[in-house]
Chains A and B, each alone.
Chain A
Amino acid sequence: MTGVLPVGLANSTKVIGNVIHTMKEYVMVIQLHAPVDEDKLRKVIEYFVGKIYQRPPLRSSVKRVIRTRRIHYIELIENTERYVLVRVGCEAGTYMRKLAHDIGLLLGVGAHMRELRRTRTGPYKEDETLVTMQEVSEALYMWREMHDERYLRKIILPVETAIAHLPKIIIRDTAVDAIAHGANLAVPGIVRLTNDVKKDSLVAILTLKGELVALGKALKNAEEIAGLKKGIVVKTKRVYIKPGIYPPVWKKGSGK
């Protein structure tokens, strides 16, 4: 398999795992074991859009019990005698090899996955940010040997891209260091938040400059939070920013 594999460097390792649970998109070549009518093929493909049942394959890392997964879309790109090229958008944890096999079963001729390329995992897509190992190697060379960091800047994305899919809460400078020390977030520290903040959902806490501070669990919905004057509204789960980057509040006010 080839395609989108976001790699978190050093500190980013802490949060890159969150994209595992986001939607995926693949481009897949399915090999049919006998030719089929294209109308029939389209009907069968359409049948798999929506909620499907899958038992994880033998070679998998999870418990092999039947589970449901959602297929958002299947687009038929090309269809020759034995090969079918499709683009599939689906929920995390959907097995493409199984999907190809099941499409073959419903067609009545049998089929298997021939090639697979991932074109999206949540916030990361097959776009101008996608780079090859060769490009990484060249950018490192330009930086180390030619003292030109421009290429490296271009191929490395800020860690904040890894939380782009999450609901967001922006906080005041004075609230940052307390969170960096593991404190929970209270209403007075909030400047603004996105409307998709939901009770019990994972949220990203950010500074006004856009720096990732921490990930936390929202204790209330966005509208509820907006109506409050005080109280803890986010339980801090994973601190990203290091303590001491933003000033501790007690130094500011007390004059000590």
Chain B
Amino acid sequence: MRSELSQSRPARLRHAIDGLMTGVFTGAGLIAIAFIFLIFFFTLRESLPVFINPEVKEEANLRAFFIEAQPGDSMIDRYIWQPTSANPKMSFIPLILGTLKATLVGLLVAIPLGVAAALFTAEFAPRRLREVIKPVIELLAGIPSVVLGFFALIVLATWVQDLFGFTYRLNAWNAGLALGLALIPIVFSITEDGFTAVPRSYRDASLALGSTRLQTAIKVVLPAAAPAIFAAFVLAFGRAIGETMILLMAGGNAAITSFDLADPLRTLSATIAAELGEVVFGSGHYAALFFMGTLLFVITFISNTAGELVIRAMRKRMQGEG
């Protein structure tokens, strides 16, 4: 047999190819990695003028963003975002408020529905039903947010207004409802994974003590999957904060400071989307928008990291006891 193997491809060629491919993968990897880090640093760099450029700082600075208030009695009059007027006002407050309002409604819709649906699917649904529900949720997840925004703007707003009699057609309720729909698949899949990951032995122990399936589901499985529910909350929160299209189209596009959920709103992301097209390169407005982007970056980073830490801690606790 030995002589046949002298037919083998020379070892030197194989080693050369191996070395080449190592270079290819390392090179491609490093390029992609470089770009990933570049996004962080570039966005940060373009918002630096807010801190260091004197011309930009005249209008766009931290004080203007977060503290400065105009003369007036009501909140609406005092915090204004109007970067393109003769006397530019750049308070982020109305935008932050808008973001929070929409997020609140979105989570209010998505978390109960998503968790309940996940619990039902994991603990009570017969197998055939489960295999229908999961693809349906995936279908919902596959709907582009521009489509959801369109639906909320053209169809949903009318229904909601007819139903509740709001003054404005586009408001936090409308946008938040559509946003909630977009968040449901995230909440559902994470919590459902969490429920199915609860060990069978927990359920068996509970049932063996004479509990009903419902009691088992609520008192044993639900608490055991607490890290997953928290993770779902955090991820949905992050997604809601950053969601652009739905809120741009269905929120009403009014940057006003109001706590009323029936008022139109504008979020941070939607502001960037709405105004970046006409901003002057290098101006205070430009830097302010980039700063907004950095802010969104930081918020998502913090919420993701916080979520991960809490999950890790919860898991350790559970494994320590369990």
Q: Do chains A and B interact in one complex?
A: no
Give B contacts to A, CB under 8 Å.
none
Interface residues, chain A, CB within 8 Å of chain B?
none
